[in-house]
Amino acid sequence: MKPEQESFWDAERIAVVSDKTKPAMEWTVGELSRKGKKVYVVDMSAEPAEGALADPSLLPDDIDCAVIGVTKTEPANIVRALEKRGVREFWIHWMTETPEIQKLCSESGIHCITGKCPMMYLASGLNMHTMHRFVWKLVGKY
């Protein structure tokens, strides 16, 4: 059986919410697109990228899951907004967890992956993310 971090990527319609403070979020979008997933990008930065949505409330209702990597906004607020739209699966990018998101994830019944970089489980080829995955597998932290 594969770990939940790998099963997460079985989803077909994935929202990626960023504020451009975590470079791995852009890499996540690229890797998901290469894998043929329908990716909805929400760019909450001061200057959203062309084609990106500026607010999670603009996402369609058929999102399977969301990856959130923000440092300028409380991630729990984004999870609450997406939960109202029916999203129940979330990946909170490592080092962006806050006490509020930890509490929300543990008390709400929604599923949140925290403490892990999504690219370590998503990346393919030879790069820093797949090397990180290799090392974590060697030391038993994968």
Q: What is the CATH number of the domain that holds 108?
A: 3.40.50.720
Question: What range does the domain containing 100 cover?
Answer: 4-138
86, 87, 90, 128: which is closest to 5 by C-alpha? 90
Listing DSSP states for 5-69 in one string gives HHHGGG-SEEEEEE-SS-HHHHHHHHHHHHTT-EEEEEE-SSSPPTT-BSSGGGS-TT--EEEEE
pTM (global) more than 0.85: yes
The count of structural domains within the chain is: 1
Tens digits of pLDDT across the chain (142 residues): 888 999 999 999 999 999 999 998 999 999 999 999 999 999 999 999 999 999 999 999 999 999 999 999 999 999 999 999 999 999 999 999 999 999 999 998 899 999 888 988 887 887 776 777 788 778 887 7
